[in-house]
Structure 1
């Protein structure tokens, strides 16, 4: 280990870091994704349980809006209320990645996953509030993709901006 090595967290020693990385190297990419998914889902379930206990007067819609704001931050569209049950509100990014992977592959749209989820796949289990996906799509394919995403239950804003050329990419949290 280099003399100037700094651990990944302030409450972790270099020896602990070295041990944890050795353990992670023994796991498959699939195992690493499962670890990350479990961490993310646990954090979100804890958040939901805390609010349900501390704010028992909140309606289902109020709780859903608060969760959307907490998980998406400034990316949450105004007035957006997640639908479905509580488990769909806390859906983890890895599950979303798998759903999008299937849709994009079926439509033969070139894509890749990057940032937090990609880092988890390569051995850094961590929680992330979004899913970063890069796609390459022509305007002629856009309607079919939007139709497939909406039929799968995704909220798809900003499409008119993409069509008229004022937006060339859709940021995280908006698909």
Structure 2
């Protein structure tokens, strides 16, 4: 897949993660220096937001995440520097243990790596079983996300109730 930035085309890293495919586990150092392994199975739905420039984090995205905050762990992976991260974290009251600019390994595993200094903007929603349920990578780094589509899918994943067999069905009653 290719993305465009300032009229220049970039080919993304080798991995192309598909919706309904398994999310990889990735070790990431958060800006508070805590190491976390994110992706794969987790007790909560995970949202992975990659931003080449953290200033693309918008009030619309923030609002969607806050509507499901207790049921979702949202991670922001960016190539922005510490000062820009501080500004956005303060502006939106974001917890620094969910923000990282240690993007290289993550971007390679999720297929959003451009080079050693850049990554594509993306949103991934991963259910509790570690399955990718939503993926969006705008083809231009200047484009905004489709926040309505993201919101609808996130709410569906958060409110999904697994159906299994009941005792009566299993017993053939």
TM over 0.5: no
Task: Give the TM-score of the pair, scaled to structure 1.
Answer: 0.25
Structure number having the greater helix percentage: 1
More strand by share: 2
Rg: which structure is higher? 1
Instruction: State TM-score, norm by structure 2.
Output: 0.25
Higher RCO structure, 1 or 2 (CA under 8 Å, sep 6+): 2
